[in-house]
Amino acid sequence: MSEQHLGLSQLGRDIPAPTDPTTAVLERVPNPHEDTDYLTRFTAPEFTSICPVTGQPDFAHLVIDYVPDRWLVESKSLKLYLTAFRNHGAFHEDCTVGIGRRLVGLLEPRWLRIAGYWYPRGGIPIDVFWQTGAPPSHLWLPDTGVPSYRGRG
């Protein structure tokens, strides 16, 4: 099935990086296995945003896990969306929870969680975790694989 038939506007095209997450286009595609519970994971180890107070860059390692229902997030659009935070001023909590909520609104997944492991600034790491509820009990849910505090070595 072609990108155009799926209604995708970014896949297979040279698209400039969006400059604002509120206007970045997130796209979805049909889940070919919607009758099956399975976990999909996206990891963004170099996520960047800007502190809204100081203007300094903030860096995070994001892990997004979800159990799709009817829709999957199109990965190029997700990469472009996350890139749009590069010059966006927002606190760690706003970035992490906002990304999770935007994905839930687009995908209507059976379950989603996002872990934001923010690198320390001023000696204090801030890790933010959000999920839509309890995961399906029969689902294998691996650890996010990120130490909760990287500052100790």
Q: Is 73 annotated as a binding residue?
A: yes
Q: Is 2 annotated as a binding residue?
A: no
- Give yes or no: 58 in active site: yes
Torsion of CA 13, 26, 119, 130, to 10 degrees: -160
- Among 14, 35, 37, 58, the active-site one is 58
- Give yes or no: 51 in active site: yes
Q: Is 108 annotated as a binding residue?
A: no
Q: Is 92 annotated as a binding residue?
A: yes
- Among 37, 51, 69, 127, the active-site one is 51
Known binding residues for substrate: 73-75, 92-93
Known binding residues: 73-75, 92-93
Question: Which residues are tagged catalytic?
Answer: 51, 58
